[in-house]
């Protein structure tokens, strides 16, 4: 089993419910167990700013899936939640799931880069990741707590 961290986000429909449902879906993936989940955060949109705010979170899982099999499973969960990947980057979505990090895995190919290459730039990822693993060292990027100290988290709020 390999410990992995998954980013979850939604800003269409019942975004709160989509993220909570995705935690359950992660726990039902084959050869995978949900270990922990972060608090939910309401965050401003990133990239394309003319869209609703996002609900974001991070899950910690144990999985026997390979990185690419995990990615395929996450894409299936997104599709089941109504996500249509139409090529638009950073736009609104019913559900977005990203593999952030898998222990012991450094990978870069046409489908997947691990650790996720833009973690260090994104408060909406670092805030919930910090809630679960502040001392996690991301190869090539640094320690989560140190990365969080360098980003602008204005407008991000922890949800009750």
Catalytic residues: 83, 93, 96, 98
Residue 13 CB coordination number (10 Å): 14
Query: Vertex 129, ends 49 and 83: CA angle to 5°?
Result: 50
Query: In which element (H, E) is residue 115 found?
Result: none
Residue 116 tokens, joined = 């996720």
The structure tokens 């996500």 sit at 83
Strands (E), the chain: 2-10, 32-37, 41-43, 54-63, 96-102, 107-108, 113-114, 137-138, 142-143, 157-158
Backbone angles phi, psi at 58, to 5 degrees: -135, 140
3-state secondary structure of 3: strand
Q: Give the separation between CA 41 and CA 90, rounded to whole angstroms.
A: 17
């Amino acid at each position: 089993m390999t410990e992995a961290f998954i980013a979850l986000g939604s800003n269409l429909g019942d975004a709160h419910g989509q993220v909570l449902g995705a935690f359950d879906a992660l726990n039902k993936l084959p050869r995978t167990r949900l270990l922990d989940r972060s608090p939910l955060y309401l965050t401003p949109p990133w990239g394309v700013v003319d869209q609703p705010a996002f609900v974001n979170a991070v899950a910690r899982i144990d999985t026997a899936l390979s990185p690419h099999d995990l990615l395929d499973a996450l894409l299936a969960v997104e599709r089941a939640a109504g996500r249509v990947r139409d090529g638009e980057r950073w736009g609104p979505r019913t559900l977005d799931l990203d593999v952030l990090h898998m222990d012991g895995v450094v990978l870069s190919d046409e489908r997947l880069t691990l650790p996720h290459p833009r973690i260090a730039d994104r408060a909406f990822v670092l805030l919930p990741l910090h809630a679960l693993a502040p001392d996690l060292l991301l190869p090539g990027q640094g320690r989560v707590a140190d990365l969080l100290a360098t980003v602008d988290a204005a407008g991000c709020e922890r949800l009750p």
